[in-house]
Amino acid sequence: MTRVALYARYSSDNQRDASIDDQFRICREQAKREKWKIVGTYKDARISGTSMILRPGIQALLQDAQAGQFEIVLAEALDRISRDQADVATLFKHLKFAGVPIVTLAEGEINELHVGLKGTMNALFLKDLAAKTHRGLRGRVEDGKSGGGLCYGYRVVKGLDERGDPIRGDREIHPQQADVIRRIFRAFAAGVGPRAIAKALNDDGIAGPDGKLWNDTTIRGHVKRGTGIINNELYIGRLVWNRQRYVKDPSTGKRVSRLNPESDWIITEVPELRIVDDELWQSVKTRQRAIAETRVNLTAAVRAHHQRNRLNGARRPKSLLSGLIFCGCCGGPYSLRSADRFACSNHTSNGSCSNSRTIPREELERRVLAGLKDRMMAPEVAAEAMRAYAEETNRLNRQRRSSGDAWRVELEKTDRELEKAVDAILAGIPPLKLKDRIEQLEARKAELTDLLADVPDDKPDLLPSAAAIYARKVTKLTEALNRPEERLQAAEALRLLIERIVLTPGPERGQIDAVLYGELGTILNWVEQQAVGNASKNNTPGGGLTGVSVSVVAGARFEPACGLTKDCGRCSPLVVQGRPRRDGCARCATLSA
């Protein structure tokens, strides 16, 4: 029986979650008519069709197609798969190479003609839609109405026009929020920094835009792009629209803002929306210019210093630990606050966290690399981790086999009942009397078939020498970080091993403790699949180890890890699904659980 995979997607606000179910339903009906066996379903909900890069459903489908898990991809229409001309062609090319055709209910089997024609039509549709939307918004802005969104300090005017239709785009000043805006402008003009202003507003219980906490970036924004409270010209009665546009980066699928030429800006005077007088506005602009001049001079001095530093060219990329570091006090991210120090973002941006400890970038990288190499998969920890992993693997396999066996028994029983129903009809019983029962059996059979298709294979055996191989690879990758031609690939490979890094203030002045978390399934899969210095994104870590949650933890501070006068030797506790499996020192056990 031909194996088929179903794909469905929706993105529009006018659609709903049930749209996915509707697409799957009509695809299942087609598969039933063709006598195809459904072995997998893939979906992307609330995700644009103009890029495949950020769509996990289509990426998983492509990966499974290359693994030979099905023979056909079935969808409602080609635009459900993608509206991007290049993406359609790329997907078609990869699936064709894997020997997997695309079949849609609207177009039938997709060929090169569909890819060219439909891809062009979809691209033109998107371009035309964008142009019409832009034209309509421009007309509203020129009439003094909102071009989209609602700025802090205003509220929507609700009402009906002479035809009884809702009034759209009208706003009026929100008195309480207008007072907050004037307070921000006066404080900044008086020399108070954005972070201090944000903290004061948060301390006073004043909600920021969208009800969130105030941040320094909410206040200072970006001068050239006109973002942030102190740069919004609407507060002086000038509506500026089309200042910037968004384009999609083809390599990442993410939107990137681009500043439009000033000649393309649409500016409309709306004096009824003025909140800040000209004198206060100019005072703020004068202080911004002074800050900008100081920053330019400081930046030039820093660059000159780095140019004199011969070792600067051998520095590792800043992104080695980006996005992986979290505060142990508030749970928020740690980020670079200067070129060389990490700090808690919630503390620096809005003062909502009391953790003021910072750590030099190079020191943290050194400690993390030492933790990866010496503690994360130390022989005694690796042995205990693999024992726990084997236990968890066996438990999951038993559970899968038990459920799968029960579903297979029920499926056989359902098939027998369907055969009996057919025999009864052949024996003369009117089909209408059995119609409802047959439909129930057919529906249950389809459900059981889908359930069995999702039962994964048994987990693979563990690699006996994983700890030793891991240590060798991490050592080589650490060395590769200092070679310019290899540093980016080495950094990417090392990042795959880190689940998160938690930084917490220590008991001593200036001390900061760090706990490094890694997921064992990811580590074992990386050991088996990743080439040294060449981390391939196609080899997704943990791809064959789904469902087994075993974490290994390099304990607090890494060096010594437990705060005792010497390393206790037991401070890399093993955590299985959040529960410590091996006691470490009191501090490590507390931070790891």
Statement to judge: residues 82 and 195 lie in one domain:
no
Residue 448 phi/psi, 5-degree rounding, is -65, -40
- What's the token pair of residue 66? 């290359």
Statement to judge: residues 215 and 176 lie in one domain:
yes
Residue 514 phi/psi, 5-degree rounding, is -130, 135
Tell whether 255 is covered by a domain: yes
199: domain CATH number?
3.90.1750
Last residue of a domain, one of 92, 127, 162: 127
- 317 confidence band (pLDDT: 50, 70, 90): very low
Q: Quick one: pLDDT at residue 297?
A: 67
31: domain CATH number?
3.40.50.1390
Type of residue numbered 129: L
- 298 confidence band (pLDDT: 50, 70, 90): low
96-112 pLDDT tens trace:
888 999 999 988 898 88
Last residue of a domain, one of 90, 110, 127: 127
Q: Is the pTM for the entire model greater than 0.85?
A: no
The whole-angstrom separation of Cα 316 and Cα 489 is: 12
- 406 confidence band (pLDDT: 50, 70, 90): confident
Last residue of a domain, one of 421, 454, 487: 454
- In the chain, how many domains are there? 3
Statement to judge: residues 284 and 400 lie in one domain:
no
Better pLDDT: 308 or 560: 308
Better pLDDT: 60 or 427: 60
**In which domain, by residue range, is 403 found?**
395-454
Q: Is the pLDDT of residue 589 over 50?
A: no
pLDDT average, residue stretch 128-153: 75
Our CA angle for 357, 361, 363, nearest 5°, is: 85
In 3D, which of 304, 312, 310 has the Cα closest to residue 340? Answer: 312
- 186 confidence band (pLDDT: 50, 70, 90): very high
Statement to judge: residues 303 and 216 lie in one domain:
yes
**Maximum CA pair distance of the chain?**
97
Q: Quick one: pLDDT at residue 280?
A: 93
Q: Is the pLDDT of residue 180 over 50?
A: yes
The whole-angstrom separation of Cα 83 and Cα 73 is: 17
The whole-angstrom separation of Cα 242 and Cα 260 is: 7
Q: Is the pLDDT of residue 237 over 60?
A: yes
456-514 pLDDT tens trace:
555 555 555 555 666 666 677 777 767 777 777 777 777 777 788 888 888 888 788 88
Statement to judge: residues 175 and 73 lie in one domain:
no
Statement to judge: residues 181 and 270 lie in one domain:
yes
Statement to judge: residues 230 and 277 lie in one domain:
yes
Q: Is the pLDDT of residue 20 over 80?
A: yes
What is residue 10's DSSP assignment?
E
Statement to judge: residues 163 and 303 lie in one domain:
yes
Q: Is the peptide bond before 573 cis (omega within 30 degrees of 0)?
A: no
The whole-angstrom separation of Cα 551 and Cα 554 is: 10
pLDDT average, residue stretch 552-566: 39
Statement to judge: residues 68 and 172 lie in one domain:
no
73: helix, strand or coil: strand
264-275 pLDDT tens trace:
888 888 889 999
Q: Quick one: pLDDT at residue 49?
A: 44
